[in-house]
Amino acid sequence: MRRRFFIVLILGLFLFQTLSGCTWFSDEEDHGEEFKEEDLVAPQVPSYPPHSMPDKPPVNESQLPPGFKYKINWAMGDVYAFWGGFIRISIENTGSNDIFVYRSGIVVNWSTPSEWIYEERNVLIRVGEEKHLGLVYFNAPNTTGNYTYQVLISLLVMDNGLYSKHNIESWYDNGTVLGSEKIFFVHPLKGKDDIKLTNNYKYYQDKLNEKVDFEAVEVQNLVSNITAAYEGDYNIYQVLAIFDFIVNNLTYISDPAGRDYWAYCQDTLNKGGGDCEDFSILFSSMVGAIGGTTRVYLTKSHAFPALYIGNGTEINEILEAIDNYYGTESNYVIFKDEGNSWLAADPAGSLYMGGLPADAKPALIYENPLMYGFNFQDTLEIHAIDVVK
């Protein structure tokens, strides 16, 4: 199994674009409360699969191709040499026939012939529906520069005529459809910086924890609805559903110029968005509402949350569960702190939970085995703020 991690032993990050509204702070000596051992709760991994996947319908080989119409949307994060990249694809059925997608991914041209990179997955999209097809990881060449790619999907189309006349589902295999050619840039890796970690400056810990609210009615009701599909005690699928809700439903909204405002979690929900501190506060509130443990990392210009995932064999089990949830094997940003592991969970910066925080760049530490750190521009000190309520 391919698995490459960012193992961040308080290693660096690189920030090439300042996020307005995020803040830095001056030196101080007072430190707040740290997590006690009994506060650290890693999410469980359920025994059931994260998604129900319908069987691929049988194909009618003699059927004439029915008409269909759809709209594809996708997002692609930055792509880096060695490390690779990710693409997230969704499809909206805008026609009058149900469609069934059984493969999705991209075609890239950095080799001859072009390389097809996809995941096999079964997703039924009824007329008028829009559904995410999951995440696809792809390798990248060692050479930086411009390359082209095309989004691909393979789909079946249902014949409405046979269904309306004889109540028979008859599916036509339309095969693979390629989108128009697009350009992307493969970025170089950076060298790592040595970074100092400081825990729990009291002023900022008090400011953060004042805004976090596990018990807020709005948070409790929302979390209950979001996690309803993932029964049982506190588990990783529930956290992933919370992360995806923030990514898919809230908008990044900068603070007004010259003002650094940290919003209560309820205010971020009511406004429909916020900046990096607001997302960190909201994520921590929602995860805390189901019994999880988070902290928030502050760089010179950014804030992002991280999830406690344990200090033993449960870590690999959790990461494999995240792979299963997103439908692909991912690279993960993990902070190591006194034997404990914290998984980055930045809704403002990543297509998936565990990905690079906003505007971070990976750095190669070792080539064999491949191990990565990451860097932020102008940041040689990271501040970890424990969310203790």
Q: Per residue in 292-332, pLDDT tens?
A: 999 999 988 889 999 999 999 999 999 999 999 999 988 89
Structure token digits, residue 204: 């900022």
All CATH 2.60.40.10 domain ranges of the chain, comma separated, are 70-187
Which CA distances in Å does 92 have to 89, 195, 231? Answer: 10, 44, 28
What average pLDDT score do residues 103-132 get? 93
Q: Is 36 exposed, middle or buried (0-12, 13-18, 19+ CB in 10 A)?
A: exposed
- Could you tell me whether strands 251-252 and 99-108 are parallel, antiparallel, or unpaired per DSSP bridges? unpaired
Q: Which class is domain 70-187?
A: mainly beta
Binned at pLDDT 50, 70 and 90, residue 11 comes out as: very low
DSSP 305: E
Helices and strands (DSSP H and E) totals, the chain: 7, 20
Distances in whole angstroms, Cα of residue 325 to Cα of each of 74, 96, 240: 18, 30, 8
Cβ atoms within 10 Å, residue 194: 9
Residue 61: band (very low, low, confident or very high) from pLDDT cuts 50, 70, 90? confident
Is the separation of the CB atoms in 7 and 371 below 8 Å? yes
Are 294 and 287 contacting, i.e. CB atoms less than 8 angstroms apart?
Answer: yes
Strands 85-93 and 70-76: antiparallel
| CB-facing half-sphere around the CA of 39: CA atoms within 13 A | 14
CA distance 138 to 287: 30
Q: Indicate whether 359 pLDDT > 60.
A: yes
* 3 state SS of 24: coil
